[in-house]
Amino acid sequence: MPNKKNIESLEKIKQSIENSQGFFVVDYRGLTVKEAQETRRALREAGAEMKVYKNNIVRIAIKELGLPDIGADLVGTCAYVFYEKDAVEAAKCLKAEGDKLKKMPFVAGIADGVGLNADEARAYADLASRDELIAQFVYVISSPLRGIASVCAGPARGLVTALDAIAEQKKEQEAA
């Protein structure tokens, strides 16, 4: 018979999973309290939240919610980073903090409804962020338009250059 505390914990975990777009799992072994606080602060700024739950209860929550099975990867001291909107921002933040502290390797994750192993979760940190993708898209869209505008302006520019040359010639003739 499961105890009341574990049942409450299971409900909290399910609520955290349902309220997020996905999550990454990191090994937080060796993290000091100050380092954990700094990491949590950085993650909040990236729209993510780090929580520590019992791995067995997380496995049950994942199974009950019908999410991909990543239970085999949930071993040891795991922290769960739930992100609200952008998986890439959360992963970039985790990678930056992990590199800075030389701790917190990725363990697993669930993003876009797909189970991720450690390498796949870490690969999210190398992707372009949403803002970078939007900037690239705008550049791709605007490049042909800029070319068309330049081609259309070419004859007018040529006319202005020719008229300017004629005006210069007339000034030289009048001065002579």
pLDDT tens digits for 27-58? 999 999 999 999 999 999 999 999 999 999 99
Within 28-94, strands assigned E span 48-51, 78-83
pLDDT tens digits for 69-122? 887 788 889 999 999 888 899 999 999 999 999 989 999 999 988 999 989 999
Do 93 and 157 reside in the same domain of the chain? no
Task: Note the pLDDT of residue 1.
Answer: 43
Do 118 and 144 reside in the same domain of the chain? no
Do 172 and 112 reside in the same domain of the chain? no
Average pLDDT, the chain: 86
The Cβ of residue 70 has, within 10 Å, a number of other Cβ atoms equal to 21
Answer whether residue 145 shows pLDDT above 80: no
Quote the CA–CA distance of 75 and 84 in Å, as a whole number: 25
- pTM of whole model > 0.75? no
Do 82 and 123 reside in the same domain of the chain? yes
Domain hosting residue 12, numbered range: 4-127
Rounded to whole angstroms, what are the CA distances from 172 to 12, 120, 159, 160? Answer: 86, 72, 20, 18
Within the chain, strands assigned E span 22-27, 48-51, 78-83, 106-111, 114-117
Average pLDDT over residues 120-148: 80
Task: Note the pLDDT of residue 131.
Answer: 78
% of the chain residues with pLDDT over 90: 48
Answer whether residue 123 shows pLDDT above 70: yes
Do 64 and 36 reside in the same domain of the chain? yes
> In CATH, what number is assigned to the domain containing residue 54?
3.30.70.1730
